[in-house]
Amino acid sequence: AQFDELPEDLVVDAVSAEGEIMALSHISKPLFGVQFHPESILTEYGAELIGNFVRISKTWSQL
């Protein structure tokens, strides 16, 4: 999707060097989307990425 094609309640959180949307989230709901494999912990920041997601997931579940 292009930036101007997204619904107003979605926010682009990350963009590639080529300008492609790599991550987005909903402005008020616990909805996230990424354009890569976040479950891959064999990358440089894989374990940190999973840890951050678990942490924010717990925060959202307490709301």
Mind listing the pLDDT tens digit for each residue in 33-49?
Answer: 888 877 777 888 888 98
In what order do the strands lie in the sheet containing 10-15? Answer: 10-15, 21-26, 32-34
pTM exceeding 0.75: no
Backbone dihedral angles phi then psi of residue 22, each to the nearest 5 degrees: -110, -20
Cα–Cα distance for residue pair 9/7, rounded to 1 Å: 5
Q: Tens of pLDDT along 13-24? A: 999 999 999 999
Q: pLDDT digits over 4-14, tens only? A: 889 999 999 99
